[in-house]
Each structure stands twice: as structure tokens, then as C-alpha cells.
Structure 1
Amino acid sequence: MRRFLLLALIAASPALGQTATHEVTSTRIADRKGVFATVESVDTLIARARIGGTVTRLMVDEGDAVQRGDLVAMVVNEQLAPQIASATSQAAALEAELAQARIDLERAQDLFTRGVIAQAPLDQAETAVQVLERRVASAQEAREVLVQQEREGEVLAPAAGRVLTVESPQGSVVLPGEPVAVIASDLYLLRLRLPERHARSIAEGDTVEIGAAALGGDVGPTGVIRQVYPQIADGRVIADAEVEGLGAFFVGERVRVYVTVDTREAIVIPREYVSTRYGNDFVVVQSDSGPHEVVVLLGAETEDGVEILAGLSAGDVLVQP
């Protein structure tokens, strides 16, 4: 009977040298803060009217994607059409006069060659041709100026992106420089607003973590701080973070992100050294009198394990249960 009990105790006890242990040490971990960030465009550009007139055609609507140089709207100045027609008629009249002056010059050259007329009439005919040539060139350039003004009625997209708002609907009257449409560039980022006490704890290149609830499509789980603005507004410091896959979000949409604002001393142990019974968490601590269980208070999960808020101190030796 004694031999049977001894064999049972040996079988129930762990094999010598096979019990895993872990020495508790303190380490520095990142203290993260959860904030809401808004999706913003790196550049917000405005397609403006270059001439005054009436918006006769509107090619885009809110949400449309445009490329650089695409026609956004057409502005027509009704005064330009009669001015162009008048300039065209003046140029045509001068060209007719020039054609007649050249005929007169050829006749004068022929008469001068035969000795019928003197040098003075020939010089007058040549001067008349030169004057008319310059007047025709001036009239054509004046017409080109009016035609170019008419072409400037084409409101073009200043860059590739998405139309956020249409400021001047079809039929509205605009002046030179007035906005017709607001376009957000294709490059999106997250704009963070942190309390000013964290202004010196964030810097360009820091990593931010995107909340799991916001993940969708091709959006990345992490991002990088691209810029920290030097001005504090309303008690908050503003920073921009680049995140892959934000193109599917709406401009102004809010996303929860986690930013490292400080580091602190903490105790982190592997999760397998913790056992849970009846809602309490236990670890086995090796002491001079042998292993015994200790109740611990768990904190946040980290990459190296779980944080221990209370129950352990640096130097304790844990035994894997």
C-alpha cells in the first residue's frame, strides 16, 4: 500500500527540471491615449471663375472624381460674343484694304519700271502696304485677346481629387475669382487634436494605432505622424498622420486612434503564467517555503504579455501553473 501511494505521488508531481519559471522585472511601456481624428485632405483646392459671367454649364456634382485639367463648369460673358464679331469684321475690312494696297503697289512698281511714274508714288504705295499690314496684325491680336477671354470661361480642375462642394450652381452669375467648386486632393490623412499637455510628447515619425472599429477595406492598422503644427488652438495641439487606405472614407469622418503620449514603469509577465478561477486571477510565486498562489490585478494586454497592476514586485520568481 505504501509503495502504491509513493508511486502515485511521484506520478502526480512535475518532473524535475521541467517546471518553467519566470523572473519578474520592471520595464517601460508606452502610455497610449485614445482620441478621435478626422479624415482630411492634404490640399483643398478651389476651382475659380477667371472671367465674370453666367454659369451656363456645370459638369460636376458633389462627390465626383476629377482629374487635373477636367472641365468643371462653363462661364459665358454675353458681351464677349459681339465684341469678337466686331473685331473679326474690323480685321476682315483691314485685310481687304491690304489686298487692294498690294494690288496698287504691284501696279505702281510696273509703272515705275516703264518710267511712267516717279519714285514718290511708288514709295507711298509701299508705305501704305506696310501700314495696313501692321493694322491687320494689330486687329488680329485684339481679336485673339477677346477669344482668349472667352476661352477663360472654361473653369478647369486645378488638381486631381474629389469634389467636396459646388459653390456656384448652373445659372448663377459669378465675378472673376469667385469659387465654383471646392476639390479635395487624392491624398488623405488623419488630423489629430490632442490636449496641449501632450504637445511635447508627440513628434514626427511617431506611430499611431487605428481603432479596430474603424478598420475596413484596405485601411492600414497603423499610421505615422506626418506633421505637428507649431500653433496650439483652443488648448489643443494639431497633428497629421498618414494612413494607408483612407481614400474610401468621407472627408470629415471621425476615426478613433491611439497615440503614445508617454512611457511609464510597469510589470509585464507572459499570459501563460496567469490562471483564472471564480473571476479572480492567480499566479504561482516561488518562495523559500515553496510555491504559493498570489492574487494579481491585471492591466492591459501588450506585445510581451499582460501588465500586472498589483500583486507582484520586481524580483519575484513565477512558476508556470
Structure 2
Amino acid sequence: MNFETTGWRRKALEGDVLDETVVMQRRKRRRIIIGIVAAAIIAIAAILAFTGGGEPAAAPGAGEGAALPAVTVVVPGSQQVARVISATGTLAARRDLPVGVAGEGGEVSRVLVEPGQWVEAGQVLAVIDRSVQSQEAQRLAAQIQVARADAELAQSELDRAQALVSRGFVSKADVDRKTATRDAANARVRVAQAQLGETRARIGRLDVRAPAAGLVLDRMVEPGQVVGAGSGALFRIAQGGQMEVLAQLPQGDLTRIKPGMPATVTPVGTSESIQGSVWQVSPVIDPQSRQGEARIAVPYSPALRPGGFASADIVAGSTQAPLLPESAVLNDARGSFVYIVGADDVVQRRPVKVGSVIDKGVVITEGLNGTERVVYSAGAFLNPGDKIKPQRAASR
């Protein structure tokens, strides 16, 4: 500061007048340069402190293998696993019973059930007006009384005639006529009884009844509606509440399906699994889709709704195959694959074909024989050709 002041005064004395603004700019520039140099020195000191002042000495006995990444591998072996065939299909009632009008029909007066209700065999579902038929039944009942009175009178006259025939007051021919009159009166009684029975039977057929016990699926009738024999189904009932899945399968899978094979059904939208079994396999293949139908019977569950969609896993025997954890199987545009470790500890890509996925892992149907060392879970961080340090894990 003194130097600058002295220099300024000397130059001022010599006649070189310096502008005060120029002096201030020079001082500012010098401070900036000093700050940058100081920051650089601090940064270099920090780097040296962090790195220990230079390259560390190699540890005694350390070699190239110490820098290789340690990767867990598993040897899957070969296990007896169930051969599971997966399919999807539509839910339906195993026995869907349409219920219509059995008699002459008429106007519906009452509907007694709603969809979702359980009914017994013979239970009344709807009642049709029977006012006319009831009057007819009363008339026929009265006719029976009349016929019975005529039959009783004919029998009395016959009894008196038979008592007098031995005295000669009544001829044998008169007895025969009275016998015929008595028989005709009894016949008229039976005719009237048959007519009354017919009318009562027609009245009984005016009740729409359940043909079997089951679950009401649908109702297509309302009070006041006029129905008859041509009205079609008024109700739909799932007999016994039993359901089924109409599973669609390709031709190759359908040939391995047999009736009686167990299956697990999972309705779409739920996590509930319902156990069932195949009860029928279609004998034909659709020529358009090249698929056939396997019908899987399942017991009733609230999650099963006819017309819905479900997936099914059918257990079609068992097979010997390697079983890997899901973390070992990778996928890309070329398909499923795993990383195996060769004898030289170098990673290799191996394409595989995946079968069913079970609780224990993924079944490998092609690509492995079970003796390979398969990368357990670090496949996403490896590339073919990488050298690793494998560490054996227990077989899954």
C-alpha cells in the first residue's frame, strides 16, 4: 500500500497523472487472482488428504482374482415337478336349467324368488292367476255330489227290487234294468271325479316350480305379465349351484388332458383359488382357432359368476425337470434365458424354455440339464464374457 502510494506520488510529481478508477480496477483484479490460486491450493490439499497422498501399495498376496465380483450361483439339479397346463375360459353353470310355463299359462300374479336365491326341488317360483280355473273346479265338485246322489238312489231301488223279485212282484228284467241304472250312476260319479282331478291338475300347473334344487341365476318375468307355453324361459337355475370353466386349450395341450385331472380355478378380479377337476374333454377341435374345450367342474363359490372369465391350472401328471428361483430367469426381446458359469468362471448366456411357475420356483423344460452353475440373482448386472468369482448356494 505504501509502495503504490509512493509510486503514485512519484508519477504525479513526474507529471503522469493516474486516474483513481484505473487503480481500483487493478486492485480488484489482483484480489480475484489471489482467491483463485488459494482455492486451487485448498482443492489439491483435499485430494491428497482423501487419497492418502498417492497410490496405495498393493496388499501382500493380492492378485487379479481379488478384484473379481463375487456372484452367488445355484446348481438346480432335476426334480419331480407337476406338469401344469394353464388355460383361460368362461365361467358357466354346469347344468343350466331353463324354467318356463308347463301349463296353459295366463297372467302372472306373483313372483316369489330373486336371482341369487337358493331354491328346493318343486318350490314355487311364480304364481299365475287361476280365478277361472277355481270356479270350474267348484262346478265339477258339485257335479260329483249330484252323481253320487243319483248313484245312491239307483242302489236303493235295486235293493228293493231284489227283495221283491222272489215274491213275484218284480220281474227279473226289471232287476236287470235297475242294476244297469245303478252302474251308470256310479260311472257318472267316476267321470265327474276325473274331470275335477284334471281341472285341479291344470290349476297346479299354473304354479311355475323349480325342476331341481339349485341357485337362481336369472329372472325374466314380472307380475302382470301374460305368459304361456310359447313364452320361453321365465327363470334360469344352476342345478345344485355347480359351476364350470369352459377352458380353451390348443390342440397339443388338449391331447394331454384327461377327465378326472385336478385343476385350480382363479376368477379374474379375485385372488381366490378354487379346486375342481376336469369332467369332460371336447372330442373335436375348432377348425378356425385350432383349439378345443376342456370343461372343469368346480363347486359353488360367490366368486364364480356365470359369464365371467377365469384362469385354470390343470395338473397333467408330473415330469423330471430343473427348478430355478424366479430371480435366476431373465427375459428380453429374444426370449427367456439364464446366465451360467463355465469351468473358467466366465459368464455365458443360455436360452431356456420356461414351463409352469409354482410356489418353489420356475420349471425349466428346455435348455438345462440341472448340472450347470446358474447365476442366482445378479444376472441384470452381468454380461456374457464377464469373469466372476462364483459362490455356491444351496439348491432350490
Name the TM-score, length of structure 1 as normaliser: 0.71
Deviation at 1:99, TM superposition (A): 2.2
Greater per-residue helix proportion: 2
* Structure 1, unpaired ranges of 5+: 7-19
Deviation at 1:126, TM superposition (A): 2.4
In the alignment, what sits opposite 1:38?
Answer: 90
In the alignment, what sits opposite 1:184?
Answer: 238
Provide the rounded CA distance (Å) in 2 between the counterparts of 1:103 and 1:134. Answer: 16
Deviation at 1:25, TM superposition (A): 7.0
Pair member with larger Rg: 2
Contact preservation (8 Å) 2:220, 2:235: yes
Q: 1:59 aligns with which of 112, 116, 119?
A: 112
Deviation at 1:207, TM superposition (A): 4.7
Identity of aligned residues (%): 21
Deviation at 1:205, TM superposition (A): 4.1
In the alignment, what sits opposite 2:150?
Answer: 97
Matches within 5 A, 1:90-239: 90-176=143-229, 178-185=232-239, 186-196=241-251, 198-211=253-266, 216=271, 219-220=273-274, 223-233=276-286, 235=289, 236-239=291-294
Provide the rounded CA distance (Å) in 2 between the counterparts of 1:42 and 1:215. Answer: 21
Provide the rounded CA distance (Å) in 2 between the counterparts of 1:134 and 1:248. Answer: 61
Provide the rounded CA distance (Å) in 2 between the counterparts of 1:32 and 1:314. Answer: 22
| 2:107 partner SS | strand
Contact preservation (8 Å) 1:39, 1:251: yes
Provide the rounded CA distance (Å) in 2 between the counterparts of 1:262 and 1:146. Answer: 60
Contact preservation (8 Å) 1:39, 1:254: yes
| 1:162 partner SS | strand
Query: How many equivalent residue pairs?
Result: 296
Contact preservation (8 Å) 1:66, 1:161: yes
Provide the rounded CA distance (Å) in 2 between the counterparts of 1:38 and 1:199. Answer: 17
Provide the rounded CA distance (Å) in 1 between the counterparts of 2:180 and 2:342. Answer: 116
Q: 1:251 aligns with which of 294, 297, 306?
A: 306
Residues 62-115 of structure 1: per-residue CA shift (max 9 Å, x gap): 221111111111234554334323322322222222222223223333433554
CA RMSD after TM alignment: 4.5
Deviation at 1:24, TM superposition (A): 6.2
Change (3 A) 1:47 1:303: closer
In the alignment, what sits opposite 1:320?
Answer: 392
In the alignment, what sits opposite 2:6?
Answer: none
Provide the rounded CA distance (Å) in 2 between the counterparts of 1:37 and 1:272. Answer: 26
Q: Amino acid of the residue matched to residue 182 of structure 1?
A: R
Q: 1:50 aligns with which of 102, 109, 115?
A: 102
In the alignment, what sits opposite 2:57?
Answer: none
Greater per-residue strand proportion: 1
Name the TM-score, length of structure 2 as normaliser: 0.59
Provide the rounded CA distance (Å) in 2 between the counterparts of 1:137 and 1:28. Answer: 74
Q: Amino acid of the residue matched to residue 225 of structure 2?
A: S
Q: Amino acid of the residue matched to residue 192 of structure 1?
A: A
